[in-house]
């Protein structure tokens, strides 16, 4: 009786050895999708770390259909096998390693750094703020809906209308020169308007004084009016 039980145990052990549950592997090659005309799946090749066997074009699971994040060669991944079948591998996750350390983060913070070790970083802070950092540019959305954008250059281009609407004040401060060019008509409407300049104010091109001694005289005395030499308008 004992011999029969021992034989059954050996058979079970042998069957279990043939069942593949999950193994760690290292990415050896990747296959990005270059266009939509092909039928290739989101996959990469993996070298199983313990067995030394390379699996070619292993499909990768994704947290959202329509989302891709291609791994890098050398990344450590977790491979599982559907139904324990060695011919049905799927990459279900990635792991940080001694070579690829996790990004610096705080408790309850979600950080996305792409590519790994690159200069682009997306952070969801515990206080509800969102921070996007890329090289020398930064965009921060605070928990109070305050938005701050900093960077070397800022360009806004639109094929249609551009509308800026605010309930509070508008302030624009520039250290260098400023230029506004309008191809069509321009309208400025305000209650009061104050224009201050430490130098001349030129309205148009190549004009003369707004008020000159020859063109404007006092209505009562007939004396010429002294015009401004710093404010000029085009004739």
In a domain, 185, yes or no: no
How many domains, the chain? Answer: 2
In a domain, 172, yes or no: no
Same domain, 25 and 91: yes
How much is the pLDDT for 44? 94
In a domain, 134, yes or no: yes
Q: What is the pLDDT of residues 119-159, one digit of tens each?
A: 899 999 999 999 999 888 999 999 888 999 998 888 889 99
- For each successive 10 residues of the chain (235 residues), what is the average pLDDT? 72 67 93 80 92 93 90 94 88 91 91 84 93 90 90 89 90 90 89 83 62 59 61 55
Tokens representing 126?
Answer: 């515990």
Same domain, 81 and 118: no
Same domain, 113 and 137: yes
How much is the pLDDT for 127? 92
DSSP string computed for 91-123: EEEEE--SSSPPPP--TT-EEEESSTTSSEEEE
In a domain, 7, yes or no: no
Same domain, 137 and 108: yes
How much is the pLDDT for 56? 94
Range of the domain at 143: 102-150
- Choose one of 55, 71, 95: the last residue of a domain: 95
User: What CATH number corresponds to the domain at position 61?
Assistant: 2.40.50.230
In a domain, 146, yes or no: yes
Same domain, 27 and 77: yes
How much is the pLDDT for 78? 96
In a domain, 214, yes or no: no
- Dihedral of the alpha carbons of 8, 14, 15, 16, in degrees to the nearest 10: 110
The pTM assigned to this predicted structure is: 0.64
- Choose one of 57, 80, 95: the last residue of a domain: 95
């Amino acid at each position: 009786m004992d011999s029969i039980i021992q034989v059954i145990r050996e058979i079970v052990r042998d069957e279990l050895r043939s069942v593949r549950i999950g193994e760690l592997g290292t990415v050896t090659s990747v296959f990005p999708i270059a266009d939509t005309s092909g039928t290739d799946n989101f996959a990469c090749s993996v070298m199983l770390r313990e067995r030394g066997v390379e699996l070619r074009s292993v499909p990768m699971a994704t947290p959202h259909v329509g989302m891709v994040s291609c791994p890098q060669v050398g990344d450590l991944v977790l491979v599982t096998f559907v139904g324990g079948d060695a011919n049905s591998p799927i990459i279900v996750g990635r792991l940080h390693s001694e070579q690829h350390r996790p990004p610096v983060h705080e408790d309850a913070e979600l950080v996305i750094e792409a590519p790994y070790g690159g200069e682009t970083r997306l952070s969801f802070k515990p206080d509800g703020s969102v921070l996007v950092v890329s090289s020398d540019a930064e965009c921060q959305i605070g928990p109070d809906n305050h938005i701050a954008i900093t960077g070397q250059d800022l360009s806004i281009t639109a094929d249609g209308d551009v509308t800026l609407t605010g309930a509070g004040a508008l302030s624009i401060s520039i250290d260098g020169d400023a230029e506004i060019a309008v191809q069509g008509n321009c309208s400025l409407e305000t209650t009061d308007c104050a224009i201050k300049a430490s130098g001349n104010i030129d309205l148009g091109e190549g004009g003369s004084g707004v008020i000159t001694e020859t063109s404007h005289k006092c209505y009562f005395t007939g004396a010429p009016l002294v015009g401004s030499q710093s404010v000029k308008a085009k004739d």
